[in-house]
Amino acid sequence: MAKSGKVVQLFQKPENFIKNRARELQLGKCYISLDWEESGIANILVSRKHVNGNVTLGFYLVDLKCLGIKDAFFKFNVSEDEMFDMVDYMNAVEIEYNQVHNIIYGGEAFAKDCGFKPHKDWTVAQFILEEDDDRIPLIDIEFGEDGVPAYYVGPNDNPAKIKQILDTLDKNVGAGNYLFYSDEDEFEDDEITEGGDEQSFKQIYYTFTGAYRDKFGESEAAALDKDHIDEIWVQKVDLGLYSLNDELDDRIIECAEEYESIFEDKSLESISQISAMLIENPDMPLFYAELFLQYKMMGLHGKADAIAKKGMQLFPDFLYLRFYVAHAAMVDGELEKGLKLLNKKYNLDEAFPQRTAFAEGEFMLFYAALCQYFMANDSLIDAITCSDALIIEIYKYACSENAILDLLQLIKAKLG
């Protein structure tokens, strides 16, 4: 104990030693997984020799196809026996240092161009390697496939991870400028029904839409800006909102909960009940919306149009009803009518600039209607952009389910 009362630090932490002194140690043997050229995934071990006969090891998992340094870690001052145990576990073969240096740093640079950063522990593990400068000869190694990024869905890649990677590729290299592969290649209609496996369906969705973008992305002119739609979702969607009136919102929530079973019934009896409630509560816009849906479900299109017209006149700011009508028009093939109800705009905030916020359901209904519009016009890249917004809550809104399932059927037919 020093007189100052501070503990005297006799030994450096391994992280500090590696950052400051690892490159002073003699390079030892290097190893790489046997199938790295075929698989495009390289497990690499680089060793540095200590004067005591032990070694410090750097491990690097490199995706040469797209993602770069997916993992990196070290083992400090361990025996050579432990190193050889790791080599056996990796099913690895010895390789020259200069080649692994080019694989690791080349993979890191290729991934950086695609928008991907190396694993967080690269900040330490990189110092077990030689400095990346002109002293290391360049070796020609293929990254991507024919120079094009190729993302292969990994066994631990959940739908959120898949979407994040695809969004990064879209932003940095552009839709249609990369390849996308997944083991999932089929889906059944009933996979999207209530109670299905949402995670599995979303992975199927991203597989098919990614394959379509790869094949047709460059040949279709896009009308939508995906980043702008994402901004609307983040900045202007209020998950607890139904209207711009707090008191009305409370009444709508109470009404939706109280009459949920009647709204879900979809029968002549439920139509009669909702009609009676509307007479008693003519200032409740939700009844107009639900009555419109009931009439459409029963094939009473004339009555549906009449109640919709009246409701939209009385409650022009209640966008749920307007978007229900627009969505139904798109599905029925009345595309101009539907687009007119969306004010002939492709972005929610531009269609209704007077609104400072939108309900989640309004957002979903708007882009579900627009998705149907683009499908009808065979503009599937724009339809996919809409459905990427809808997939966020795939089971929460029937319009989202219907639009996405219709879209996937069209994509399957296009892909053959």
3-state helix/strand/coil string of 241-282 = CCCCCHHHHHHHHHHHHHCHHHHHHCCHHHHHHHHHHHHHCC
**The pLDDT of residue 216:** 85
Residue 7 pLDDT more than 80?
A: no
Residues 6+ apart with CB under 8 A from 76: 14, 17, 18, 56
Residue 347 pLDDT more than 70?
A: yes
**The pLDDT of residue 239:** 62
H helices present in 332-397, as ranges: 335-341, 348-351, 360-376, 380-390
Task: Report the range of poorest mean pLDDT among 9-13, 187-191, 207-211, 380-384.
Answer: 187-191
* Cα–Cα dist 108/254, whole Å: 55
Residue 169 pLDDT more than 70?
A: yes
**The pLDDT of residue 89:** 86
* Cα–Cα dist 294/274, whole Å: 9
Residues 6+ apart with CB under 8 A from 49: 25, 26, 27, 28, 55
Strands 150-152 and 179-181 turn out to be parallel
* Cα–Cα dist 291/309, whole Å: 12
406 Cα distance to chain centroid? 20
**Residue 231 gets which letter from DSSP?**
H
Q: Considering the chain, what is the average pLDDT of its residues?
A: 86
Sorting pLDDT into bands at 50, 70 and 90, what band is 355? confident
Sorting pLDDT into bands at 50, 70 and 90, what band is 2? very low
Whether the Cβ atoms of residue 101 and residue 132 lie closer than 8 Å to each other: yes
**Residue 131 gets which letter from DSSP?**
P
**The pLDDT of residue 212:** 87
**The pLDDT of residue 5:** 40
Residue 339 pLDDT more than 90?
A: yes
**The pLDDT of residue 373:** 96
Higher pLDDT, 281 or 96: 96
Higher pLDDT, 397 or 79: 79
Residue 258 CB-density burial (10 A; 0-12 exposed, 13-18 middle, 19+ buried):
exposed
Q: Which residue is associated with the tokens 């340094």?
A: 69
**The pLDDT of residue 181:** 81
**The pLDDT of residue 183:** 57
Residue 208 pLDDT more than 60?
A: yes
Residue 340 pLDDT more than 80?
A: yes
Task: Report the range of poorest mean pLDDT among 9-13, 24-28, 115-119, 404-408.
Answer: 9-13
Residue 328 pLDDT more than 80?
A: yes
Which tokens hold the place of 221? 């002119």
Whether the Cβ atoms of residue 119 and residue 60 lie closer than 8 Å to each other: no
pTM: 0.56
pLDDT tens-digit readout, 217-274:
777 888 999 889 989 988 888 765 666 567 777 888 888 788 888 888 778 888 899 8
* Cα–Cα dist 227/171, whole Å: 9
* Cα–Cα dist 204/175, whole Å: 18
Whole-number percent of the chain with pLDDT over 90 = 50
Residue 190 pLDDT more than 60?
A: no
Average of per-residue pLDDT across 83-105: 94
Residue 29 pLDDT more than 90?
A: yes
| Contacts for 182-191: CB closer than 8 Å, 24+ residues apart | 182/152, 182/153, 182/206, 182/207, 182/210, 183/153, 184/153, 187/408, 189/405
DSSP assignment of 25-58: SEEEEEEEETTHHHHSEEEEEEEEE-TTS-EEEE
Average of per-residue pLDDT across 390-413: 84
